Amino acid sequence: MVDSELQDFVRRQLKSDFSISPLKGDGSERSFFRVSFSGGTVIALDHRVHPAEAESYFRIGTHLLNCGIPVPHIITYERGRFFLLEDLGDWDLYRECRHKEQGRAMERYCRAVDLLVRLQLEATPTFDVAWCFDTSCYTGDFAYEREGLYFLDRFVKKGLGLEVEKGKIAEELRVLAQEIDRIPFRGFMHRDFQSRNLMMKQDRLIAIDFQGARIGPPQYDLVSLLYDPYVMLDRDMRGQLIERYVQATEGTWQPVSEFLEHLGIVALHRLMQALGAFAVLGVEKGKPGFREHIPGAVAHLVEVWEQLGRTGYPAFNDLIDYCANEAKARFPSQKI
């Protein structure tokens, strides 16, 4: 059943007969609908559950459009409630690449990296943090509370059912998160720049789900794309894509050596966030499309931690080992 207020909103905007059907949702509580009418199709977005987030979507989306970034055209917006948006179809980078041969996937991912470079370079100078509904800057404190502890509470404790002594692990997570504050440059950060948020329409890549954007380190969106558990890129592909990104941005951020030095710690936190979200959405709420990607995210987490070569974090080391072993037990058909 489609809400009558939403139908009234669509009717006022289109002023013609239409049909409306719900679309499969993402990980949020927003509701999406495809509206068909004589002029084609549009997407109706019911955002009443989070009015402040709706305002961020409108402000940031308008900013990105003004910067020439490919994002959905906002046809109309009723403040804090409803949107009519350009219909981008149902084909995203995830669907495009999951069954394609490596060369085809590499070409698509090169374009995604190029889009990320445009996004960061063009959206940063005039970005206003007043548009952010959920903190304006990605900091060490944010990484600790919303990624490290989130991983511990939602994935480890609730997702895997492990009762852990929080004190020592939390101390180590705080120390790890403090490294985020040592990254010298900050710019526009999408915060969920991954294959399911890059739509493909008429061979164009279009970014969606940008309402959580804020100021943050440029490494974050890059590792979100390259360590995406939905499309498991191999190490060689990731290396080539990092090189492409570095060549395109050299001299823009900090020196290349410093940029690369911080990739691992940012990837670690991004993957902890992803695992926490997968546990909430796939395990607790039972939504499809998340639980099955936990093994890939754990595999990436183990790889990143090993590459960091950390010593002095015994509790976190043990926790990573446990997560890897438990994922093998729970997902025996998946490679960890």
- Long-range Cβ contact pairs of 100-103 (< 8 A, separation 24 or more): 102/237
Amino acid at 225: L
Q: Which phi and psi angles does 146 have, rounded to 5°?
A: -100, -5
Give CA–CA dist 310/292, Å, rounded: 28
Mean pLDDT on 180-206: 96
pLDDT at 72 over 50: yes
pLDDT band of residue 336 (cuts 50, 70, 90) is very low
Are the C-beta atoms of residues 93 and 200 closer than 8 Å to each other?
yes
How much is the pLDDT for 165?
A: 84
Q: Which two tokens stand for residue 289?
A: 């499309």
Are the C-beta atoms of residues 195 and 111 closer than 8 Å to each other?
no
Q: Give the whole-number percent of the chain exceeding pLDDT 70.
A: 97
**Domain chopping of the chain, boundaries:** 4-86, 93-330
Mean pLDDT on 139-148: 98
Q: Which CATH superfamily is domain 4-86 in?
A: Phosphorylase Kinase; domain 1 (3.30.200.20)
Give CA–CA dist 42/29, Å, rounded: 20
Are the C-beta atoms of residues 309 and 321 closer than 8 Å to each other?
no
Mean pLDDT of the chain: 93
What CATH number does the domain located at 93-330 have? 3.90.1200.10
CA atoms within 13 A on the CB side of 316: 25
Helical H segments across 92-234, by residue range: 93-97, 102-123, 140-143, 149-150, 166-178, 219-226
How much is the pLDDT for 331?
A: 65
How much is the pLDDT for 253?
A: 76
Mean pLDDT on 288-296: 92
How far is residue 71 CA from its own chain's centroid?
15
pLDDT band of residue 185 (cuts 50, 70, 90) is confident
| One-character DSSP codes across 122-133 | HHSTT--GGG-S
Q: Which phi and psi angles does 138 have, rounded to 5°?
A: -85, 115
User: Minimal CA–CA distance to 88: which of 9, 8, 203, 191?
Assistant: 203
Are the C-beta atoms of residues 284 and 158 closer than 8 Å to each other?
yes
Q: Can you give the pTM of this predicted structure?
A: 0.95
